[in-house]
Chains A and B, each alone.
Chain A
Amino acid sequence: MNVEPRVRVEDKLYYNRYLVDVGHPHVKVRAHTTPSPQLLALLKACPARCYELNDDGQVEITVDGCIECGTCRVIAEPTGDIQWSHPRGGFGVLFKFG
């Protein structure tokens, strides 16, 4: 069995252009002590790996690399685990090709 090379999504995001709206994250995770199954699913399902576990086992988001697909909204907004808005006009990912 050959070992899968590790895929670094950070390298992929490096290709993209962003205008980060510092201090105004467009997606927020509700405060929690133990993450719900929906929140845990985001660790894997987010194509930009914006969600990570912190040292206390809670799910945190860093929206800077978000490519605004809405996958997390579909999975975790119904349970109230996250709040999802579009970035303010002009901010966020700026696709050159799309």
Chain B
Amino acid sequence: MIEEKFDAIVVGAGMAGNAAALTMAKRGMKVLQFERGEYPGSKNVQGAILYADMMEKLVPEFREEAPLERHLVEQRFWMMDDRSHVGMHYRSEDFNEERPNRYTIIRAQFDKWFSSKVREAGATVLCETTVTELARDERERIVGVRTDRRDGEIHADVVVLAEGVNGLLGTRAGLRARPTPDNVALAVKEMHFLPRETIEARFNLKGDEGVVIEAAGTISRGMTGMGFIYANKECISLGIGCLVADFQRTGQTPYVLLDQFKRHPSVAPLIAGSEVKEYSAHLIPEGGYKSIPQLYGEGWVVVGDAAQLNNAIHREGSNLAMTSGRIAAEAIGLLKSRGEPMSATNLSIYKKMLDDSFVIKDLKKYKDLPPLMHTQSQNFFLTYPQLISKAMQNFVRVDGTPKAEKEKATLKSFVKARSWTGLFGDACRFARAWR
């Protein structure tokens, strides 16, 4: 039995939980953090890209200490059909800067380091402990947690739910709904190991430069989904994710999809001869702004993936997680310093602060895109990639056909596949949702 009472209990040691625990511990608050894994990071799965700006706000000197892989100098977007890809690549020497903007990381290793900073700041971190239930008082306020260590109830003024996309506590306690199949994606990923020099040669990199490839098209077999390839120092993270509702509807299997992606002629040479050392899977919140649940209540706040804070369009999640964790912790710290209780009314300041940040502003901007992508998945992920591939081939293949005829054929193929009204409608819908 842990008799002492804490200022705050944090459930989960991912990006959001660590950001919250660190921020509160640095303010001198008495923080207890639970992690069900063997060590912080052992249950956490991400691509993974780290966004430096948000990390600097937590640990300004992270570049000197944290296990980072490569700083990104190039971003490639691929629109794929079965035999080709149409790419847009952006590479800039500007990204070879003193304080690079984005890095690839390996989450299990990074999170372990991040957690060491949380401990250094004075928080108590208990691993191998699954929180099983939230504890309430007679007025139904959240006053602490119960764990599977048979310690009885452990009390705190506030509980920060950083339990991830698949968090059970908040949903079991009725604080938010369980994610639905159409607002989460299932991503599967493999870690492919290759010698450093091989990776650098294949991806056109020198030193610690890195590149990410985001791919969409027929690789998702008409489902709403994306593939990704991230270059780390001595391995490549490669995966593909699609909406759970689409997997359910189509009966596609995630590992077959992953293997087809790996065998694509544009992908296979990048990983040829690699040694796979891990296979993982994880859910990704995809519902956007409209799926954000109630973020606070009597004695609790929810942060990160558990709150569906993920920007599916920009593939940003960990930065929203760490920012929401930090902001929640600052809100709690503010109330604590004023000696005010952690009531729902007072904790609403967390939502106000989050609304004013890029987290909610960005999600609001794209609030209509997830539903559009989900209902139009056949068009956006099958029809258009195939049409665009054909158009490109028509453009570059030299076969004696007059250019005017080629252009006519390309236009005809678009109209045949989607009709004029369809094309116009898609463009308008997309523009409206993007704006």
Contact = CB atoms under 8 A, between A and B. Distances in A.
B130 A97 contact: no
Nearest to B35: A89
A98 B113 CA distance: 14
Interface of B: 36-38, 41-46, 48, 106-109, 111, 127-130, 132, 147-149, 165-166, 168, 178-181, 184, 186, 188, 190-191, 235, 244, 247-248, 251-256, 259-260, 276-283
Contacts of B45: 95, 98
Contacts of A75: 181, 244, 248
A74 interface: yes
Most A CB contacts (10 A, CB to CB) among B149, B256, B281 go to: B281
A75 B324 CA distance: 28
A32 to B, nearest CB: 18
15 contacts: A7-B255, A41-B251, A67-B279, A67-B281, A69-B282, A74-B181, A77-B178, A85-B132, A86-B168, A89-B149, A94-B42, A97-B108, A97-B191, A98-B41, A98-B42
A63 interface: no
Contacts of A49: 253, 255
Interface in A1-35: 4-5, 7, 9, 12-13, 15-16, 19
Given A19-B38, A97-B191, A71 B283 contact: yes
Contacts of B251: 41, 44
B193 to A, nearest CB: 10
Contact of A84 (B107, B168, B190, B256): B168
Contact of B42 (A12, A70, A86, A95): A95
Interface in A41-56: 41, 44-45, 47-49
A75 B179 CA distance: 9
Interface string A82-98: 00111111101111111
Given A74-B178, A89-B129, A95-B107, 7 more contacts: A74-B180, A89-B147, A92-B43, A93-B43, A97-B109, A97-B278, A97-B280
B148 A15 contact: no
Contacts of A4: 256, 260
A71 B255 contact: no
Nearest to B277: A15
Most B C-beta atoms less than 10 A away, residue of A45, A73, A85, A92: A45
A26 to B, nearest CB: 9
A2 B232 CA distance: 33
A42 to B, nearest CB: 9
B253 A44 contact: yes
A7 B240 CA distance: 15
**A-B complex: 3 closest residue pairs judged by Cβ atoms:** A70-B166, A90-B128, A12-B279
A64 to B, nearest CB: 14
A47 B186 contact: yes
B252 A89 contact: no
A58 B248 CA distance: 18
B281 A94 contact: no
A94 B38 CA distance: 7
B283 A70 contact: yes
A68 B281 CA distance: 8
A89 B179 CA distance: 23
Contacts of B46: 98
Given A86-B36, A97-B191, A71 B244 contact: yes
Given A7-B256, A74-B181, A98-B42, A44 B129 contact: no
B179 A95 contact: no
Contact of A95 (B247, B248, B280): B280
A7 to B, nearest CB: 5
Contacts of B281: 47-48, 67, 69, 71
A29 to B, nearest CB: 17
Contact of B36 (A41, A48, A89): A89
B127 A90 contact: yes
B130 A86 contact: yes
A70 B183 CA distance: 13
Contacts of A87: 36, 130
Given A12-B190, A74-B181, A95 B255 contact: no
B177 to A, nearest CB: 10
Given A7-B256, A74-B181, A69 B108 contact: no
- Which of A74, A85, A93 has the most B CB atoms < 10 Å from its CB? A74
B247 A44 contact: yes
Given A88-B130, A94-B42, A95-B45, A12 B255 contact: yes
